[in-house]
Structure 1
Amino acid sequence: MYQLIYVSDKVNTFVPSDMDSILCKARENNEKYGITGLLVELPQHFIQIIEGKQDDVEFAYKLISKDTRHHNLRVILATTTKTREMEAWAMGFSKDLDRSELNDALHILNSFSEKQKFSDIHGQSLKMLLKSLSPE
């Protein structure tokens, strides 16, 4: 199993209805290519983890990178795992978090989103946070 985590910056012209279009197309492509993951929408950024066969994930990432609703894509982590870790495709915080947990998660994710380069420890830490937000 191959996993890729990236962060990108939303364009200034992004509107809430764009999210519906993104999710519709992503769900269609993910089902077609056997990809699972989690997409988190932040006020100015996206963070996404996608997983599946390496060729399929890399192909999906190429499609994602061509989307004009975001730019400045930065790969945080690209790694292999023994098993699928993100069973459900979801958007945002799909797990019930109390206000304190949600604020902490948003603070961490926003801090990561501003970076241009990432170390392995950044990638692993962010992966753990994203996994904690994933549906159980």
Structure 2
Amino acid sequence: MLSQYLYISTAPTLPREDVDAILATSARNNPARGITGLLLFNGRNFLQLLEGDEGEVSELMQTISADPRHSGVSVIDRRSITARACPTWAMKRVMIAESIETRRDMLERDLPEGLDPEVRKMIVNFAVLN
């Protein structure tokens, strides 16, 4: 059974190099686990979408929750899915434009088309905060 998790967390002092390291680790480890998804970081908070086998994603969420580089891990959406929204993304960093005015347009262009409209709205709403 495929599952999709969307969570947020706080990492106000995390340097860019650590974010890059997280992405590199994800790109290296996720394919073997059958996990795909995307990651947004606004300089203070993460929003990550994970999708894959329920057991694998649940196990990864436990690892993520225990990671000391961030705190306040909160799952804001969890659902069973019939198809992946990000089938080719081991873990894609979706960049957030500096200008709040251009964030929505940039995300609409970069987010996968297969995302559930409700999940898409949560991601866009996160990105336009600041």
TM > 0.5 between the two? yes
1:3/1:103 CA distance change after superposition, 3 Å: closer
Structural mapping, 1:1-136, within 5 Å = 1-12=2-13, 14-87=14-87, 88=89, 89-93=91-95, 100-102=101-103, 125=118, 127-129=119-121, 130=123
* Secondary structure of residue in 2 paired with 1:62: helix
Aligned length, in residue pairs: 111
* Secondary structure of residue in 1 paired with 2:63: helix
Is the 2:39–2:46 contact (alpha carbons within 8 Å) kept by the matching residues of 1? yes
What's the Cα RMSD here?
2.9
1:104/1:9 CA distance change after superposition, 3 Å: farther
TM-score between both structures, scaled by the size of structure 1: 0.70
* Secondary structure of residue in 2 paired with 1:30: helix
Counterpart residue type for residue 48 of structure 2: Q
TM-score between both structures, scaled by the size of structure 2: 0.73
CA distance in 2, matches of 1:28, 1:72: 25
Is the 1:77–1:124 contact (alpha carbons within 8 Å) kept by the matching residues of 2? no
Is the 2:5–2:49 contact (alpha carbons within 8 Å) kept by the matching residues of 1? yes
- Summarize deviations over 1:59-94 as a string: whole Å, max 9, x none: 111111121110000000110011111222201238
Is the 2:3–2:51 contact (alpha carbons within 8 Å) kept by the matching residues of 1? yes
CA distance in 1, matches of 2:7, 2:78: 9
The runs of 4+ residues in structure 1 deviating greater than 3 Å are: 98-101, 103-106
* Secondary structure of residue in 1 paired with 2:67: coil
CA distance in 2, matches of 1:90, 1:52: 15
